[in-house]
Amino acid sequence: MAELHTVDASVFLNAFNDTEFGHEGSVAFFERLRSIAAPMLEPTLLLPEVAATIARGYTDAVLARSLVSAIAHLPNLILVSLDRELAEQASDIAATFRLRGSDAVYVAVALRFNTDLVTRDREQRERVAGAVRALTPEEALSQSVGSDLTNDP
């Protein structure tokens, strides 16, 4: 069975910034997904969220557009539009779990498609623990590699 993930923008940004704690784990996680062609089901919100963070943090619109273009062209990326139904589900999640709106959108996508939510946001992971499987990149990577070892013939 293919691994399915919804990866929060925090992990994409962490993989980009080599000065952040956990950078190596985020990079290794993405390399693993690429190597096994594991689908990432992401809200379309991912793209403007990454662009805004890079443009504001680095004061560099060209860099922001370049990173967004690279993400948008990942072969295993599946973008999920924020339609009315998903927006209402995310709103309910935001209210129920006291999450920021953007965090609730990622959780709603993970719930809708029964994916693991991979995030660097501790608060997001802790608050939705009973509703969705929320992991750090390192946890997702260790479970993924561990499942390879147990599935060997």
Lookup: tokens for 44:
């379309």
Instruction: Write down the pTM of the prediction.
Output: 0.91
Note the pLDDT of residue 16. 96
Q: How far apart are CA 135 and CA 139, in angstroms?
A: 6
The domain defined by 5-145 folds into Rossmann fold (3.40.50)
Hey, where are the domains in the chain?
5-145
Report how far residue 109's alpha carbon sits from residue 124's, in angstroms, rounded to the nearest whole number. Answer: 14
Tell the residue number behind the tokens 């390192």, with chain if given: 138
pLDDT of the chain, 153 residues: tens digit per residue:
468 999 999 999 999 999 999 999 999 999 999 999 999 999 999 999 999 999 999 999 999 999 999 999 999 999 999 999 999 999 999 999 999 999 999 999 999 999 999 999 999 999 999 999 999 999 999 987 655 544 444
- Beta-sheet strand order (sheet of 77-80): 77-80, 40-43, 5-7, 116-118, 134-135
Candidates 42, 34, 5; CA nearest to 143 is 5
Q: Locate tokens 């990942």: which residue?
A: 74
Residue 1 pLDDT: 46
